[in-house]
Amino acid sequence: MDKLKRESNISKLQVAIIFGGAGEEHPVSVKSAVEVAKNIDTEKYEPFYIGITKSGEWKLCESPLTDWENGKPVMLSPDRSVHGLLVIERGQYKTIRIDVAFPVLHGKHGEDGAIQGLLELSGIPYVGCDIQSSVLCMDKSLTYTVIRNAGIATPDFRLVAANEAVDASRLIYPVFVKPARSGSSFGVSKVSRKEDLPNALKDAGQYDTKIVIEEAIVASEVGCAVLGNNGDLVVGEPDRISLSHGFFRIHQEAEPESGSENATFIVPADISAESRSLIRQTAKAIYCALGCRGIARVDLFLRQDGTVILNEVNTLPGLTSYSRYPRMMAAAGLPLSEVIDQLVSLALK
């Protein structure tokens, strides 16, 4: 059915689901949108799927499943009187009012405050963190600074520019070299010898002009899904990443749906009740300290002595069939359909 013919349906909330994007996490975003399309309650919501191509074109489509790039040209109007979309059809603009937006976007332009700023201008409520918390969480150096000031441990790190000369002999190895503002392990390298540092810096520099060099933490990698606003938070069952070798690189496999080449996800995590409680409380504290709202996944390191250290915060975590966030929430009794329902409600509050 033509989306434009459905705009008169006022019995359901009109939800704009935005996916794709021009960043490196474009394919992951499309897969997340597919899962949202499968799980959104169409008895309550009228979804309008807006795909952003790799070149940055916005397309109104029937679904993110197939052939969405051939959809109708569309744009989000910053004019609050429109409060929605401008669809270009036969040389004319038609409007579709949108009640709430769900940016199913990851990484650059999705989690860094860019789409959030556009939605703020439009006056449309949206799912997830606001501009300020999106910026803080996207930049690892800013995240670490805020969290340290909140009294929570982070790795020791050094911030350098992509073209900055770094004296490799002054570092204590191993270290991780990361783009400060990227996701899904793109451009991340573990460096065990000073001779390998230049290539790692070059690789990270492909994704960002700011690079973080941080200590390699010897610990288990765990995560916690968080849902809610302010202090009224729901947390999923923590997970643990079991590595056979190397380090965890999500979404780097050719077919991640078939599993990771070196990682197994254990949900609920096979850890003590004390550690599980600490992880959940620390995740909540981090979420609040960074001003998060709606949704985030907090990734931590769990040391053998039972202490935890922040790894990173993802403000629009993957919602794919193999992603960690929906698995953790499902283990806590919240299937993705209910997560979507709560996220829309939270956005409208």
Domain 3-126 annotated CATH 3.40.50.20: yes
CATH 3.30.470.20 domain locations along the chain: 135-153+218-348
Structure tokens at 162: 């992509």
Output the pLDDT for position 4: 47
**Helix segments in the chain, DSSP class H:** 26-39, 114-122, 131-138, 140-149, 197-205, 273-289, 324-331, 336-348
Distant-in-sequence, close-in-space partners of 92: CB < 8 Å, separation ≥ 6: none
Helix (H, G, I), strand (E, B) or coil at 147: helix
132: which residues sit within 8 A by CB, 6+ positions away? 113, 291
Q: Show the tokens assigned to 243.
A: 């590595």
The answer regarding whether domain 157-215 maps to CATH 3.20.20.70 reads no
Query: In the chain, how many H helices and how many E strands?
Result: 8, 17
Q: What pLDDT is recorded for position 1?
A: 41
Question: pLDDT tens digits, residue range 287-323?
Answer: 999 999 999 999 999 999 999 999 999 999 999 999 9
Q: Topology of domain 135-153+218-348, per CATH?
A: D-amino Acid Aminotransferase; Chain A, domain 1 (3.30.470)
The rounded distance, in Å, linking the Cα atoms of 234 and 287 is 11
Q: List the beta bridge partners of residue 94.
A: 87
Residues in the chain: 349
DSSP secondary structure letters along 297-320: EEEEEE-TTS-EEEEEEESS---S
d(CA 44, CA 93): 27
- The residues that are catalytic are 28, 31, 106, 251, 257, 297, 318, 322
Q: Please, what is the average pLDDT of the chain?
A: 91
Confidence check: pLDDT of 260 > 70? no
Q: Where in the chain is the domain with CATH 3.30.1490.20?
A: 157-215
